[in-house]
């Protein structure tokens, strides 16, 4: 019985998992999950591409690492494989919770984990009656949100299943709120209704924290977070061009991260999450902002070497060689003076405001090979593979 890597397309993370498995001496089976036919019938099931029959391969697999990138495909894959009697990381129940920010937050809230105040209005911005009349609900939705979030600085609206900061908008007044509600049309990332949150008064960074569990062992939070930092936008996603720093986590935040893992992992034997957290620092900004901005500008220049390697096409033809170049570039970036300065500001600010942390999301299939591995110092492929081994 073996471990399989299920994927849609082989990207850096999937290549990284393959490379790590080789280094650990763990054989991996590869299962495509895109142009395949999955058939269920009276004699059992079959899994075939146009050129190859994977049925017996799937039958021999004990544990599947689910790396389908689309949230929908990932949920289908986990659920299907569980009914084929496979163990899956992460299990479908976890995928179901992580698929939706609201569901994730409900689990956190139930366990008493601090979250941003969140409001869900199941109504869409407009309805069309059977006779074709359009009913506008924007103002009613705005009233409902404003009533609940009256004390908030600003109101953040976000698609329930969105990623990369997409369509996350901030409203500072009623006019902006109405416009933002109008623009939240039902879509695959936001099937129904509006999710809004109080704007957390974080400073220039947010945190990505890795928590995982192997069967038979206590859950673990990696002690160093990936801090994503920049002043350009209230969203600090790296996808939007922000920079990355490593930040040591106080024990109180690590304990909460483990609690988040348990809140979602329930009774499951093994799981791996990347949790997103913010620190509500309010006015407690522990360094001069103008100086900090100047350091960030310098760090951005130093980061250019990393960006050059990232887009280097040799990653497609010689992944191990490209990976060595990537490691060297990150190492150089982390060795610069602006990096050290910003890192120390972030760490000091976290330490001083740790009691104001809020958790707002859990990612069940995180990107990790580049930033999380090389900045936060955790190769997520290792807990993935070890968790899989622990279940055989």
Ligand X SMILES: Nc1ncnc2c1ncn2[C@@H]1O[C@H](COP(=O)(O)OP(=O)(O)OP(=O)(O)O)[C@@H](O)[C@H]1O
Kindly state the smallest distance separating residue 235's Cβ from ligand X, in Å: 4
Beta carbon nearer to Mg ion, 138 or 367: 367
Q: Is 214 in the site for Mg ion (CB under 5 A)?
A: no
Q: Residue 295: which of Mg ion, ligand X, none does it interact with, CB under 5 to 8 A by kind?
A: none
Alpha-carbon gap, residue 82 to 91, rounded angstroms: 8
Q: Is 361 in the site for Mg ion (CB under 5 A)?
A: yes
Say if CB 146 and CB 294 are below 8 A apart.
no
Beta carbon nearer to ligand X, 138 or 206: 206
Kindly state the smallest distance separating residue 202's Cβ from ligand X, in Å: 6
Kindly state the smallest distance separating residue 37's Cβ from ligand X, in Å: 31
Stretch that binds Mg ion, among 7-15, 269-277, 286-294, 296-304 (CB under 5 A): 269-277
Binding site for ligand X (CB under 6 A): 116, 156, 158, 162-166, 168, 197, 199-200, 202, 206, 234-237, 276, 278, 360-361, 363
Kindly state the smallest distance separating residue 3's Cβ from Mg ion, in Å: 28
Q: Residue 214: which of ligand X, Mg ion, none does it interact with, CB under 5 to 8 A by kind?
A: none
Kindly state the smallest distance separating residue 328's Cβ from ligand X, in Å: 26
Kindly state the smallest distance separating residue 152's Cβ from ligand X, in Å: 9
Residue of this chain nearest to Mg ion (CB atom):
276
Beta carbon nearer to Mg ion, 93 or 363: 363
Q: Residue 158: which of ligand X, Mg ion, none does it interact with, CB under 5 to 8 A by kind?
A: ligand X
Q: Residue 236: which of Mg ion, ligand X, none does it interact with, CB under 5 to 8 A by kind?
A: ligand X
Query: How is residue 100 written in tokens?
Result: 């939706």
Q: Is 276 in the site for Mg ion (CB under 5 A)?
A: yes
Which residues of this protein are in contact with Mg ion, per CB under 5 A? 276, 361
């Amino acid at each position: 019985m073996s471990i399989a890597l299920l994927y849609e397309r082989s990207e850096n993370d999937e290549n990284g998992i393959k490379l790590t498995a080789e280094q650990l001496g763990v054989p991996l089976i590869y299962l495509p999950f895109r142009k395949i036919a999955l058939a269920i019938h009276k004699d059992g099931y079959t899994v075939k591409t146009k050129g190859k029959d994977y049925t017996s391969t799937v039958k021999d697999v004990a544990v599947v690492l689910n790396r389908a990138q689309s949230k929908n495909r990932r949920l289908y894959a986990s659920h299907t494989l569980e009914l084929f009697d496979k163990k899956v990381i992460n299990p479908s129940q976890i995928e179901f919770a992580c698929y939706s920010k609201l569901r994730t937050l409900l689990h956190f809230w139930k366990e008493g984990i601090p979250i941003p105040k969140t409001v869900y209005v199941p109504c869409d911005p407009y309805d069309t009656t059977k006779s074709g009349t359009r009913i506008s609900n924007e103002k009613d939705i705005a009233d409902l949100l404003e009533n609940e979030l009256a004390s908030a600085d600003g109101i953040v609206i976000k698609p329930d299943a969105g990623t990369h900061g997409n369509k996350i908008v901030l409203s500072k007044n009623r006019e902006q709120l109405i416009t933002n509600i109008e623009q939240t049309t039902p879509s695959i990332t936001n099937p129904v209704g509006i999710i809004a949150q109080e704007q957390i008064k974080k400073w220039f960074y947010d945190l990505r924290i890795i928590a995982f569990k192997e069967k038979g062992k206590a859950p673990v939070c990696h002690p160093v977070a990936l801090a994503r930092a920049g002043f350009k936008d209230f969203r600090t996603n790296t996808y939007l061009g922000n920079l990355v720093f490593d930040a040591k986590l106080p024990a109180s935040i690590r304990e909460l991260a483990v609690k988040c893992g348990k809140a979602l992992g329930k009774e499951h034997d093994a799981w791996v999450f990347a949790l997103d957290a913010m620190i509500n620092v309010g006015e407690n900004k522990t360094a001069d902002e103008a100086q900090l901005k100047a350091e960030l500008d310098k760090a951005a220049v130093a980061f250019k070497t990393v960006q050059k390697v990232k887009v280097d096409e040799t990653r497609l033809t010689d992944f191990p060689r490209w990976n060595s170049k990537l490691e060297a570039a990150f190492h150089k970036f982390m060795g610069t003076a602006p990096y050290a300065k910003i890192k120390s500001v972030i760490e000091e600010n976290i330490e001083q405001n740790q009691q104001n942390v809020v958790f707002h999301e859990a990612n069940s299939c995180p990107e990790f090979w580049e930033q999380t591995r090389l900045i936060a110092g955790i190769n997520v492929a290792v807990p993935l593979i070890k968790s899989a081994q622990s279940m055989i």
